[in-house]
Amino acid sequence: MIDLTHIDELARRLSNLVPAGLRGQSGEVLREELQENFKTVLQSGLTRLDLVTREEFEVQRAVLLRTREKLEALQQTVAELEARLGNAPGNGTPRH
């Protein structure tokens, strides 16, 4: 989920970067409109990026690490079983 306070702050900063001369007589109204437009564009763009939160990333990272550990353990077990059966890779015996 995207933190809307960060988007609001970024939209505010962008609207403040617009030179005062471009704001015209009703500068405050135009600035507020720009800020809302920036906010909408930012939200839309960030949503399309399909970003994940740091928490979601860390959860998936932990799952990947556990899966990798299990895979390595299984590979070791298979190698030991192959050695016991005499079908270890490299001894010329065909594997089934």
**Assessment of whether the complete model's pTM goes beyond 0.85:** no
- Summarised one tens digit per residue, pLDDT across range 7-49 is 888 888 887 777 766 666 566 667 778 888 888 888 888 888 8
Q: Residue 52 has what pLDDT?
A: 83
Q: CB-based contacts of 93: which residues, under 8 Å, 6+ apart?
A: 86, 87
